Amino acid sequence: MQKIPTFRKGGIHPDDKKVLSNRQAIERLPVPAELIIPLSQHIGAPALPLKQKGDRVEAGEKIGQGASFISADIHSPVNGTVTALNKVTLANSVVSDAFVITPDTENPMGIWEERPYEAFSAAELQKIVKDLGIVGAGGATFPTHIKLTVPRGKTVDALVVNGVECEPYLTADHRLMLEHSEMVVRGVMLVARMTNPKKIIIGVENNKKDAIVALRKVIAEHDFPIVVTPLKVKYPQGDEKQLLKATIKREIPSGKLPLDVGAVVLNVATAFAIYEAVAYNKPLIERIVTVSGEAIATKRNLRVLIGTKVADLLAYAGLAEEAETYIAGGPMMGFAFYDDQTPIIKGTSGILAFTEEAHKQAPVSPCISCGRCIAACPMGLQPTKLYRLIDHRQYSEAMATNLMDCKECGCCAFVCPAHLPLVHAMKLGKRLGRK
Amino acid sequence: MNILFAFLIIASLGLLLGLGLAVAAKKLAVKKDERAEEILAVLPGANCGACGYPGCAGYASALSKGEAENGLCSPGGAETSAAVAEILGIEASAVHERMVAFVHCRGNNELTQRDYHYQGIEECSGAYMLFQGDSSCKYGCLHLGSCMRVCPTNAISRDALGNMRVDPDACIGCLKCTLVCPTKVIRMIPARGSHAIACNSLDKGGVVRKICSVGCIGCKICEKKFPDSGCTVTNFLSEIDYESPMTQIGEAAQACPTSCIVEAR
């Protein structure tokens, strides 16, 4: 039997809890009464507003213009009216200007017709990706057109598509690969046309065997040059650095990008969005969100419009009991928030609600220097040392101890027997050390 | 005989090295600026950095070279400034008024509403990272005491109600607490100031009233009824002009509906 690959250094095995929602087919959430569309849904400069209060908007119409090189356009998900331009706080504590859009009562949704796309050149495809506001759907929301524009002098020899979904609870990518395998695979082929890789790999963790079968079936039907690689389950395999290590055995040097080792990494949900953009001229106006957690009555995978309030999702899924904490994203790297009026943005892969019992925090005790965090860190850092430096406000020292290589995956905090808030400390250290 | 040889070798070696050291001490001597040494002796030695130089030694050497302005030492004040002027042989410059830090907030965890229960690191910036702090008021004190821990003279303490307070007599005006405070609720006021506004919120009155019972609601009673109090309201926040005589400030403090004009001393 062939050995199933994974990355070697560090990593953890949290209870994945995917069984709660991985049999729930994707459902479409009805159009809510009000949408909040923030202008800062991506990494980089916020988009500039193109509409004002009282303006009419069409579904798919551009309402925010990307402001600089690293930025992305924002589109209206529905036909409707802009009722306000407010400031909102997103789940990740970013304060952003946001359109409040009231959808029309009749026919709020746009109609997306299929168009022939085989004739588009690579440059035309890249322009479509840029104009339709596609950003990385995995959570980091990096504008995709920058990733797909390979700079002169660099070549891509591996396109690695991320179907790992290593975060516990989340099943949105799993359902997407299972139910829309054809579109995902076609999206991957479009990306391949833009980047010209020598090989194309889709990495999928071994706990999604049905998705692997579904993808392989579609690939075999069309005879596409794509390899689906099953990966041994280990968190944080969905990070691009660990994924490249697991699939093509390459290590990205500190502070570099996948392109520096000749690879492009892209999420399956991004590939799906690219296919929709190219084949239907449909901007990134909706995404699949897993609604799960112990406080949710029926866990679901919902297809929701960008800008839908969390309260609408919770009302649809039903709260079993009073939720104590909400998390946007997965439980390891997601953001805890308290306001259910927070909108879903392009990077929100899940909404989790927990009861007080489920998220209870153990009391913090002093570090005993056991070194478990060092063993768990996939980046080979020394979280214990970094924590001590940050605790003593030695921020520049912490920066010199490679604090910036920390990607806040939470492995160290997960294994810490003293329950120290290690990730919180790393985030704080980065913020204060950068000054 | 052997002992004698050993003795001679060691002795001559010692003599030789000693000679080398003596020559090196003369030839490689580092010139010391004596005036800088003298100035350093009269500076308070708090190494607080309020002057903008790295510690007292840094300021002293800059002063002796004529690069720094005299009178920047806020802990030392007029006395130090005069002593430095004497050493440098210049006229004592006008001393800046002694300023002390003041926490412009009295909204402890009971008086001000909280958005969520913060469980992270005991550091104000840590809480500020998450939705600008757990307090519903995004301008106020977060009560985690980062200022207290950076204060070089232990002038800041937590009172019985959980509010952070600065002892104006112990404060040396080094500004360290104002730099570490993420909400900038600590600002400097003149040490002679009898009263201060215990609120930092620029929210509208209605918003403040909803989330805090001791915040300035911008009602302008202090400004209109007590024109000699020195209070003016801009951006829904009252501010005291310490240059004015401030004769009615006591009455204004009595009349303030949320009693957020408090005694500073």
Q: What is the pLDDT of residues B197-238, one digit of tens each?
A: 999 999 999 999 999 999 999 999 999 999 888 999 999 999
Residue A425, chain B, CB below 8 Å: the answer is yes
| Per-window interface: A 26-85 vs B, CB < 8 A | none
Among the partner residues A336, A339, A424, nearest to B121 by beta-carbon distance: A424
Question: Given this model, what pLDDT does residue A434 score?
Answer: 84
Question: CA of B125: which chain A residue's CA is closest?
Answer: A428
User: What rounded mean pLDDT belongs to chain B?
Assistant: 90
Question: Given this model, what pLDDT does residue A319 score?
Answer: 87
Residue A428, chain B, CB below 8 Å: the answer is yes
CA distance B83 to B86: 5
Confidence (pTM): 0.86
**Best of A93, A341, A389, A392 to mutate (most B CBs within 10 Å, chain B):** A93
Among the partner residues A93, A95, A339, nearest to B130 by beta-carbon distance: A93
**Best of A359, A390, A393 to mutate (most B CBs within 10 Å, chain B):** A393
Chain B positions in Cβ-Cβ contact with residue A89 (cut-off 8 Å): 131-132
Residue B179, chain A, CB below 8 Å: the answer is no
Is the pLDDT at A48 greater than 90? The verdict is: yes
Chain A positions in Cβ-Cβ contact with residue B130 (cut-off 8 Å): 93, 336
Among the partner residues A89, A391, A431, nearest to B131 by beta-carbon distance: A89
Shortest Cα–Cα distance, A294 to chain B (Å): 20
Can you list the positions of beta strands (E) in chain B? 99-103, 156-158, 164-166, 186-190, 195-197, 231-234, 237-240, 261-263
CA distance A64 to A47: 5
CB A183 within 8 A of CB A146: no
Please judge whether B121 and A421 are an interchain contact, meaning their C-beta atoms are less than 8 angstroms apart: yes
Residue B123, chain A, CB below 8 Å: the answer is yes
Question: Given this model, what pLDDT does residue B52 score?
Answer: 84
Question: CA of A94: which chain B residue's CA is closest?
Answer: B131
Question: What is the mean pLDDT of the segment spanning B244-253?
Answer: 90
Question: Given this model, what pLDDT does residue B76 score?
Answer: 81
Question: What is the mean pLDDT of the segment spanning A410-419?
Answer: 95
**Best of B114, B118, B131 to mutate (most A CBs within 10 Å, chain A):** B131
A2 or B154, which is more confident: B154
Please judge whether A361 and B129 are an interchain contact, meaning their C-beta atoms are less than 8 angstroms apart: no
> Using CA of residue B209, residue B213, residue B216, residue B221, what is the dihedral sign?
positive
User: What rounded mean pLDDT belongs to chain A?
Assistant: 92
Please judge whether B125 and A431 are an interchain contact, meaning their C-beta atoms are less than 8 angstroms apart: yes
Residues carrying CATH 1.10.15.40, chain B: 34-88
Among the partner residues B116, B121, B131, nearest to A428 by beta-carbon distance: B121
Secondary structure (H, E, C), A76-93? CCECEEEEEEEEEECCCC
Q: What fold is seen in the domain A113-280? A: Rossmann fold (3.40.50)
pLDDT band at residue A362 using 50, 70 and 90 as cut-offs: confident
For tokens 């090989």, the residue is A199
Is the pLDDT at A435 greater than 80? The verdict is: no
Please judge whether B121 and A361 are an interchain contact, meaning their C-beta atoms are less than 8 angstroms apart: no
CA distance A255 to A399: 13
pLDDT digits (tens, 9 = 90+) for A65-86: 998 889 999 999 999 999 999 9
pLDDT band at residue B95 using 50, 70 and 90 as cut-offs: low
Question: Given this model, what pLDDT does residue B117 score?
Answer: 87
Range of weakest confidence among A148-162, A399-413, B66-80: B66-80
Q: CB neighbours of B260 closer than 8 A, spacing ≥ 6?
A: B106, B197, B198, B199, B214, B215, B216, B238
Question: What is the mean pLDDT of the segment spanning A352-378?
Answer: 90
pLDDT band at residue A315 using 50, 70 and 90 as cut-offs: very high
Question: What is the mean pLDDT of the segment spanning A200-217?
Answer: 95
Please judge whether A89 and B126 are an interchain contact, meaning their C-beta atoms are less than 8 angstroms apart: no
Residue A105, chain B, CB below 8 Å: the answer is no
Instruction: Give CATH superfamily name and number for B34-88.
Output: Electron transport complex subunit B, putative Fe-S cluster (1.10.15.40)
Q: What is the percentage of chain B residues whose pLDDT exceeds 90?
A: 54
- The partner residues of A82 in beta bridges, in order of sequence, read A101
Please judge whether B115 and A89 are an interchain contact, meaning their C-beta atoms are less than 8 angstroms apart: no
Question: What is the mean pLDDT of the segment spanning B105-120?
Answer: 88
Which amino acid is residue A19, in one-letter code?
A: V
Please judge whether A391 and B121 are an interchain contact, meaning their C-beta atoms are less than 8 angstroms apart: yes
Chain A positions in Cβ-Cβ contact with residue B120 (cut-off 8 Å): 421, 424
What is the number of CB-based contacts under 8 A between chain A and chain B?
33
Residue B129, chain A, CB below 8 Å: the answer is yes
Measured from the Cβ of residue B97, the count of other Cβ atoms closer than 10 Å reads: 13
Range of weakest confidence among A38-52, A112-126, A285-299, A316-330: A316-330
Chain A positions in Cβ-Cβ contact with residue B203 (cut-off 8 Å): none
Question: Given this model, what pLDDT does residue A1 score?
Answer: 52
pLDDT digits (tens, 9 = 90+) for B18-67: 999 999 999 888 887 888 888 999 888 888 888 888 889 999 989 888 88
Q: Are strands A62-65 and A74-75 parallel, antiparallel or unpaired?
A: antiparallel
Residue B138, chain A, CB below 8 Å: the answer is no
Is the pLDDT at B196 greater than 80? The verdict is: yes
**Best of B121, B129, B147, B202 to mutate (most A CBs within 10 Å, chain A):** B121
Residue A337, chain B, CB below 8 Å: the answer is yes
- The partner residues of A65 in beta bridges, in order of sequence, read A48
Residue A432, chain B, CB below 8 Å: the answer is yes
Chain A positions in Cβ-Cβ contact with residue B132 (cut-off 8 Å): 89, 93, 95
The ipTM (two decimal places) reads 0.85
Is the pLDDT at A227 greater than 90? The verdict is: yes
Question: Given this model, what pLDDT does residue B237 score?
Answer: 93
Among the partner residues B116, B119, B121, nearest to A361 by beta-carbon distance: B119
Question: Given this model, what pLDDT does residue B23 score?
Answer: 94
Question: What is the mean pLDDT of the segment spanning B168-179?
Answer: 90
Question: Given this model, what pLDDT does residue A63 score?
Answer: 94
Is the pLDDT at A355 greater than 80? The verdict is: yes
Question: Given this model, what pLDDT does residue A225 score?
Answer: 94
CB A193 within 8 A of CB A122: yes
Among the partner residues B115, B126, B131, nearest to A428 by beta-carbon distance: B126
Q: What is the percentage of chain B residues whose pLDDT exceeds 70?
A: 99
CB A201 within 8 A of CB A159: yes
pLDDT band at residue A408 using 50, 70 and 90 as cut-offs: very high
Question: Given this model, what pLDDT does residue A158 score?
Answer: 94
What CATH number should be reported for the domain whose range is B99-263?
Answer: 3.30.70.20
CB A170 within 8 A of CB A330: yes
Question: Given this model, what pLDDT does residue B50 score?
Answer: 80
pLDDT band at residue B81 using 50, 70 and 90 as cut-offs: confident
Residues carrying CATH 3.30.70.20, chain B: 99-263
Shortest Cα–Cα distance, B103 to chain A (Å): 22
What CATH number should be reported for the domain whose range is A32-112+283-358?
Answer: 3.10.20.600
A160 or A320, which is more confident: A160
